């Protein structure tokens, strides 16, 4: 799960439009937050709702009245050391648990997960491994060393071929590749994210519950991505691996902050967007690699993108199931994710050297935008995709008033992003491109803007 430009696009595009929570609700920003995060009320059982949504009931007609499940937490984390609410200080000790209705809804999908998500994981025996796409470094322990010497020569030849092709990859593409690899390497943070999500976490570390099995299987597949990209970059000889490793160390140490860290609704929506953005990013990198003559890098990015597409399918389908169970809760959660400042996995990356006022992530994102690895246009396409895939425009009479306002906002978001993208392109065309230096590539400068 690695991508770069989404946070920048969200901040610039929506921020430039002047959109805030007060635009979405007549009660102002605080009112929206409280409406979306209202405490759970006594409501029908999730199992009854699932039975209704899968039978003759219209889509969400009853489930739509289950509006309390839109809540994902209270509006601020609890400071357990003082017994109160953290209000402006830096100490945020503990977020409250997700509402019971959300937990019931996500747990009710366990059977569905076993039948529809777990089969999307590739069996280990038939799964690709990083070694499959890199020069074979293993030397056979043959008597006399003859076969070992042959293998050494073959490895040296394959390494020389890899380096010759990689030498043609421009620095901007290399920066995007490093940034994506760094984000992939922070996988322990992402597994922790899911394990603290109420209703899906692996409580024992080896739970047989389908959600827990999915999280472990997803983590195992994702783990190969950082391994493969890291080894490729090391073998190219074109990057300062110590600075790259320092960046990984910082990112793991800094962590990642979620909007609603314990809400299963928010977590699934977030994961759907992230996996699709990563699929797009790696796919664009694969095409750029071919353009510049590095077919090894193209294959590497292609196989990673294929994994991300399977993972996106899993989270998107699970979210669709929740839209059937609780359309009002999910559309409100979706609007909140779109309205909020989405924290990206690599947002807190740092090489420890500073960057003249811009964060490393901001510079990385600007390079990705200019290189075409991940752009504002990609984000607009993605919003349209999910609105269509989850049939948000078709949500019917079961929506609450707040749900209808959320629906209207989400369905109208993509055109606003398109307009802001056009304005940004016009501004960029009038300005002079800038330069950004990256310690990852020995402090060489890359064009941005």
Beta-bridged to residue 435, according to DSSP, are: 447
Kindly state the tokens that stand for 248: 């990984």
SS3 of the chain: helix, strand, coil, percent, to 5: 65, 5, 35
Per-residue pLDDT averaged across 297-326, rounded? 98
Closest CA to 319 of 306, 334, 307: 334
- The pLDDT assigned to 427 comes to 82
Active site residues: 128, 184, 222, 225, 275, 278, 307-308, 311
The separation between CA 224 and the C-alpha centre of its own chain, rounded to angstroms, equals 16
pLDDT in tens, 116-125: 999 999 999 9
pLDDT in tens, 247-304: 999 999 999 988 788 999 999 999 999 999 999 999 999 999 999 999 999 999 999 9
Kindly state the tokens that stand for 8: 């920048």
DSSP string computed for 242-299 = HHHHHHHHHHHHH----SSTT-HHHHHHHHHHHHHHHHHHHHHHHHHHHHTT-HHHHH
Spell out the residues 6+ positions from residue 361 whose beta carbon is closer than 8 angstroms to its own.
Answer: 4, 7, 179, 344, 346, 347, 348, 349
CA distance 120 to 190: 19
pLDDT in tens, 148-175: 678 888 999 999 999 999 999 999 999 9
* More reliable by pLDDT, 425 or 27: 425
* Residue length of the chain: 449
The secondary element (H helix, E strand) that includes residue 448 is: strand 444-448
Q: Which residue has the tokens 């307009």?
A: 419
Average pLDDT, the chain: 81
Kindly state the tokens that stand for 234: 């090391």
pTM for the full predicted model: 0.81
Q: 98-102, 283-287, 383-387: which range is least confident on average?
A: 98-102
pLDDT in tens, 195-251: 999 999 999 999 999 999 999 999 999 999 999 999 999 999 999 999 999 999 999
* More reliable by pLDDT, 89 or 12: 89
pLDDT at 109 over 90: yes
The secondary element (H helix, E strand) that includes residue 383 is: helix 376-389
Inter-residue contact 106 to 200 (CB < 8 Å): yes
CB atoms within 10 A of CB 174: 23
Closest CA to 328 of 26, 7, 49: 49
Closest CA to 410 of 301, 305, 336, 357: 336
pLDDT in tens, 176-200: 999 999 999 999 999 999 999 999 9
**Chosen CATH of 100-136+149-448 out of 1.10.620.20, 1.10.3720.10, 1.10.10.60, 1.10.10.10:** 1.10.620.20
Kindly state the tokens that stand for 429: 């065309």
Residue 23 — very low, low, confident or very high, per pLDDT cuts 50/70/90? very low
Inter-residue contact 77 to 94 (CB < 8 Å): yes
Where does residue 206 rank: exposed (0-12), middle (13-18), buried (19+ CB within 10 A)?
A: exposed
Closest CA to 261 of 189, 326, 203: 189
Q: 26-35, 182-191, 417-426: which range is least confident on average?
A: 26-35
- The pLDDT assigned to 340 comes to 76
Please tell me whether residue 230 adopts helix, strand or coil conformation: helix
pLDDT at 431 over 70: yes
């Amino acid at each position: 799960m690695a991508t770069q430009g989404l946070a920048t696009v969200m901040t610039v595009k929506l921020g430039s439009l002047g959109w805030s929570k007060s635009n979405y609700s007549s009660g102002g920003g605080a009112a929206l937050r409280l409406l979306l995060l209202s405490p759970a009320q006594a409501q029908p059982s999730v199992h009854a709702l699932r039975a209704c949504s899968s039978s003759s009931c219209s889509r969400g007609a009853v489930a739509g009245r289950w509006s309390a499940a839109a809540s994902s937490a209270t509006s601020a984390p609890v400071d357990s050391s003082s017994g109160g609410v953290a209000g402006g200080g830096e100490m945020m000790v503990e977020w409250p648990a997700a509402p019971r209705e959300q937990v019931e809804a996500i747990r009710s999908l366990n059977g569905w997960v076993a039948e529809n998500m777990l089969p999307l994981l590739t069996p280990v025996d038939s799964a690709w491994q990083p070694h499959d796409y890199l020069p074979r470094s293993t030397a056979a322990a043959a008597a006399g060393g003859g076969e070992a010497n042959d293998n050494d020569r073959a490895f040296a030849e394959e390494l020389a071929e890899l380096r010759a092709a990689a030498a043609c990859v421009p620095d901007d593409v290399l920066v995007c590749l490093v940034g994506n690899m760094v984000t992939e390497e922070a996988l322990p943070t992402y597994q922790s994210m899911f394990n603290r999500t109420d209703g899906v976490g692996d409580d024992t570390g080896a739970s047989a519950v389908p959600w827990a099995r999915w999280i472990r299987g997803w983590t195992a597949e994702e783990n190969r991505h950082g391994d493969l990209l890291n080894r490729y970059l090391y073998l190219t000889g074109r990057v300062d691996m110590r600075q790259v490793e320092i960046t990984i160390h910082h990112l793991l140490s800094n962590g990642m902050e979620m909007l609603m860290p314990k809400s299963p609704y928010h977590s699934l929506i977030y994961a759907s967007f992230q996996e699709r953005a990563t699929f797009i990013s790696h796919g664009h990198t694969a095409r750029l690699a071919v353009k510049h003559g590095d077919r090894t890098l193209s294959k590497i990015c292609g196989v990673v993108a294929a994994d991300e597409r399977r993972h996106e399918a899993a989270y998107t389908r699970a979210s669709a199931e929740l839209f059937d169970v609780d359309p009002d809760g999910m559309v409100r959660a979706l609007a909140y994710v779109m309205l909020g400042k989405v924290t990206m996995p690599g947002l807190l990356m740092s090489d420890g050297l500073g960057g003249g006022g811009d964060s490393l992530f901001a510079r990385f994102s600007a390079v990705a935008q200019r290189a075409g690895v991940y752009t504002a246009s990609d984000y607009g396409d993605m919003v349209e995709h999910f609105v269509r895939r989850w049939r948000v425009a078709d949500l019917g009479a079961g929506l609450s008033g707040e749900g209808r306002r959320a629906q209207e906002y989400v369905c109208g978001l993509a055109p606003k992003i398109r307009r802001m993208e056009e304005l940004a392109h016009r501004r960029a065309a009038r300005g002079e491109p800038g330069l950004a230096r990256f310690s990852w590539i020995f402090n060489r400068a890359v064009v941005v803007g």
